Amino acid sequence: MRERRQPDLLGAPAAEEPPHQHGHRERLKARFAAHGADAMPDYELLELVLFAAIPRRDVKPLAKRLIARFGDFNHAISAEPARLREVEGAGEAVIHQLKLVEAAARRLARSRALGRPALSSWSTVVDYCKTQMAHETVEQFRVLYLDKRNVLIADEALARGTVDAVAVYPREVVKRALELSASAVILAHNHPSGDATPSQADIEMTRRIKGALRSVEIALHDHLVIGKDRDASFHALGLL
């Protein structure tokens, strides 16, 4: 008796891949193993991620739909679940897999940044902030706390706001810095609009926080504004 196929994770009957797809997954895996992600376009890298969610179907059409909708690999895995559900074929198993990859990327970036001298590995700090915030749909304000050797000892999201605003109180930054015995801090927040240019409100808030920190002899090294494709540094712009 022919074995009955079980439904796949999307709830639809599993279908065999067409003949031209036989070996496609193995070829992609082999190319990734030999040459890494840089040798693959975004949709193929996304295919590799989707293999675990959809084990018995051709996932290339879905991967291409996700890239077409969100622009690139990073935006696809970082998209809100509600937006992912709008894409044909993106069921709960697919969304779970994409969010798992996103969470792993954030955890890896955090582990690479914490416990290291922030000023001598500045690109790692910036990359970490980008990983955490660049694709957020609302503003998020983070504070990175450094010890007397400028080693990053903690990173905390202090506040979240609306699409274009977040409320931050200088006393909260100072209170937490004192609790951690921090000697310096780096501020970071995102602009969901994508434009990393500091606003006048950003500048005024930074000046208030800097003054509050100075009163307890804690330095403010920088304030990073993270956009979707670029970032801005208050220090580099001469705004500190």
* Residue 101 shares a structural domain with residue 126: no
94 conformational bin, left if phi > 0, alpha if psi -120 to 50, beta if neither = alpha
Regarding whether 23 and 99 lie in a shared domain, the answer is: yes
Determine how many CB atoms are found less than 10 A away from the CB of residue 226: 24
And the tokens for 22? 């036989």
Structural domain contains residue 111: no
137 and 219 part of one domain: yes
Q: Please give the angle made by the CA atoms of 193, 199 and 205, to the nearest 5 degrees.
A: 120
**Which residues constitute the domain of residue 68?**
19-106
Q: What is the pLDDT along the chain (240 residues), one digit of tens a residue?
A: 444 444 444 444 444 555 555 588 889 898 899 998 888 999 999 999 999 999 888 999 999 999 999 988 988 888 889 999 999 999 999 999 998 998 888 788 777 767 767 666 788 888 888 888 877 888 889 999 999 998 888 888 887 765 555 678 899 999 999 999 999 999 999 998 888 999 998 999 999 999 999 999 999 999 999 987 789 999 999 998
Distance CA 84, CA 179 (A): 40
Number of domain units in the chain: 2
Q: Are residues 204 and 168 in the same domain?
A: yes
Contact predicate 195/173, CB 8 Å: no
Shared domain check, 221 and 141 = yes
Locate tokens 């004192």: which residue? 178
Q: Is the residue at 1 inside a domain?
A: no
- Whether residues 24 and 125 share a domain: the answer is no
- Position 7 in a domain: no
The reply to whether 40 and 95 lie within a common domain is yes
The CATH number of the domain where 134 resides is what?
3.40.140.10
Assess if residue 9 is contained within a domain.
no
Question: Are 121 and 209 within one domain?
Answer: yes
Burial 190-220 (b: 16+ CB within 10 A, else e): bbbeeebebeeebeebbbebbebbeeeebeb
Are residues 91 and 122 both part of a single domain? no
Q: pTM of this prediction? A: 0.62
